Structure 1
Amino acid sequence: MVELAARAILTETEHGTVLLDEHTGRYWMTNGTGATVLRSFAAGGTVLEAAAALCASNTGVNMDDAERDVTALFEQLRRGGLVLP
């Protein structure tokens, strides 16, 4: 289960989401694909569940590629302190 850190604020935008780190003021803008993953994380989903959601929302994305991409995003967010494993 992945959880957004308390300092992370997720906001929907017209084209995706913005994830704000309240402690540093840094933010990450995502497109619709990233938004799907972040919504899954915000709901307490796992990396595999986020990858499955990505596959369901994008025709042509296979599970192996989705899992690799979601894992990479998760690792970036974890290093930044924005998600908790």
Structure 2
Amino acid sequence: MPLRFAADVSTAKTDYGTVLLDQRSGEYWELNPTATLVVDTLMAGGDEEAAATAITEAFDVTAERARADVSALVEQLRAGGLAV
């Protein structure tokens, strides 16, 4: 399922990934390059499987681990109210 950030979440790319600002709480989240790749894939309309494939192509990780990591990241972003 494509991902989008909540209306009150700001993003900024950095040399080390992406920083998210939850304007409601003032909390910052820092995404490493792997998480940034996942988010970019999902925001572009890809599904979780496409994001896992992108990870396995870019990094030395198994498909099983990539799927688990993508699922965990999406769950954390949704649970934190950052993504819908």
- So what's the TM-score if we normalise by structure 2? 0.85
Deviation at 1:57, TM superposition (A): 1.2
Residue 74 of structure 2 corresponds to which residue in structure 1? Answer: 74
Question: 1:11-70 CA distances to partner (integer Å, 9 max, x unpaired)?
Answer: 110111111112111111122111111212322322212111111211x21111001011
Closer, same or farther: CA 42–9 of 1 in aligned 2, 3 Å = farther
- Residue segments in structure 2 that go unaligned for 5+ positions in a row: none
Give 1:64's aligned amino acid: E
1:1-85 map, 5 Å: 1=1, 2-58=3-59, 60-84=60-84
- So what's the TM-score if we normalise by structure 1? 0.84
- d(CA) in 2 for partners of 1:61, 1:10: 26
Closer, same or farther: CA 46–4 of 1 in aligned 2, 3 Å = farther
CA RMSD of aligned residues (A): 1.4
Alpha-carbon contact 1:33-1:54 (below 8 Å) kept:
yes
Alignment size in residue pairs: 83
Give 1:29's aligned amino acid: E
- d(CA) in 2 for partners of 1:44, 1:22: 24
- d(CA) in 1 for partners of 2:34, 2:69: 10
Aligned-pair identity in percent equals: 42
